[in-house]
Amino acid sequence: MRLIIYTGKGGVGKTSVSAATAIRLAAKGHRTIVMSTDSAHSLADSLDMRLPPEIVNIGPDLDALEIDIVREMKTKWKDIQEYISAFMLSQGMGELSAEEMAIFPGMEMVASLFYVLEFADDGKYDVVVMDTAPTGETLRLLSFPDVSNWYIEKFYHLIKKILALARMTVAKVIDVPLPSQQVMASLEELMHKMGRVKEILEDSRNTTVRLVINPERMVINETMHAYSYLCLYNKNVECLVVNRVYPDDAGSDYFGDRLREQKHYLEMIHQAFDPMKMLYARQMPTEVLGTDRLEAMADMLFGDEDPAEVYSSESPMSFVTEDGIDKLIMKMPFVEKGDVELYKTKDGSLIVHVGSQKRSVNLPLTLASARILGADFKNGRLTIRFRRDSNE
């Protein structure tokens, strides 16, 4: 299954680009679904139609979905929501507040990622196009399998301790509701699914991120940061979509100034991101709403090309062994050496801290007890060297 993830700064046109891509994919004969993971959905507006809170067919080979987290909690995680609500009520919270608190932050992300897993398992779609929230939320979405599994595992073991205590005391001193076997089974299922989702997201041959950008300074700067952090989370950024480019024949003194400014920023984009594949869409005279205008945008972006094409399949993170030295190589564009902090935890994980983002890299078992010999930073790549003990 091909997964294409569009992200970028708020307002750059991600939804229009996602919808246009999906329409062109379906026209090429790919069984396609376009899915919005943004809590403030605009996919229905872009398509100029109403979308119910479930998968709906909107054309030949084309489905759409705007995720409704309240519906997802009631239909898919009812047992967990009911337990959390009961726990909140036991602590004196009102019934309505307890129900609201049971939808904890990040559940939209969990729902989105589990849909991806569902689509991969049932084989119903050839291509999934994901229209995401602005960059910061998308980084949380794509790093969620790493982060959430840590929290879920801690929560799971805490509950197991509570259950063990309850068995010892016959629940006489426990003043909170105890989770049922179904709740425990659901938590185990969450952990298992998150591991599988992580594999899908880090499959650089089938899952790729496309950054949507406008030729504006603030947008360019944020996109550079997003590219760095996506590489940190081992996500393959294959393409840059430059949206809202004024045509060269735009008239008037105002557009003359805008064209000169735009030329400067387009040169900045090329200097920063070359040789990455770039797709261009002109600034359209009216809002990109409805199938006709989305098809026009698809013409600008792809021409006769197939949007399902993978423009680059390079994984940002790899392990290699050279002359008896193991190396972890991480692609880190737009990062300075002084921006990177490294340390190894007692459980054998490697923590990489870059700017405002921190990632825990689970090292292979063969390197869990290996010594870190040092690290080098050159040409946008971080190389960490390990030596295994001789008795391994």
Task: Give tens-digit pLDDT for 33-81.
Answer: 999 988 778 899 999 999 988 999 999 999 999 988 767 766 655 555 5
* CA-based torsion, 187, 191, 194, 196: positive or negative: negative
For 229, the token pair is 């952090």
In CATH, 2-70+107-147+200-302 is 3.30.720.200: no
317-387: CATH architecture: Sandwich (2.60)
For 391, the token pair is 């008795």
Task: Give tens-digit pLDDT for 79-97.
Answer: 555 555 555 555 555 444 4
Q: What is the pLDDT of residue 22?
A: 98
Residues of the chain with pLDDT under 50: 94-103, 105, 171-173, 392
Q: Which residue has the tokens 């003043």?
A: 175
Q: What is the pLDDT of residue 180?
A: 66
Gap between the Cα atoms of 180 and 186, Å rounded: 10
Are 308 and 198 in contact by the 8 Å Cβ rule? The answer is no
Q: What is the pLDDT of residue 176?
A: 57
Q: In 3D, which of 190, 195, 192 has the Cα closest to residue 80?
A: 190
Distance set, CA 146 to CA 24, 107, 327, 382 (Å): 33, 15, 22, 20
Q: What is the pLDDT of residue 198?
A: 86
State the DSSP code for 366: G
Q: What is the pLDDT of residue 72?
A: 72
Q: Which residue has the tokens 């982060």?
A: 147
List, by residue range, all CATH 2.60.40.790 domains of the chain: 317-387
Distance set, CA 90 to CA 83, 87, 96, 170, 177 (Å): 11, 5, 13, 18, 7
Q: What is the pLDDT of residue 96?
A: 45
List, by residue range, all CATH 3.40.50.300 domains of the chain: 2-70+107-147+200-302
Q: What is the pLDDT of residue 103?
A: 46
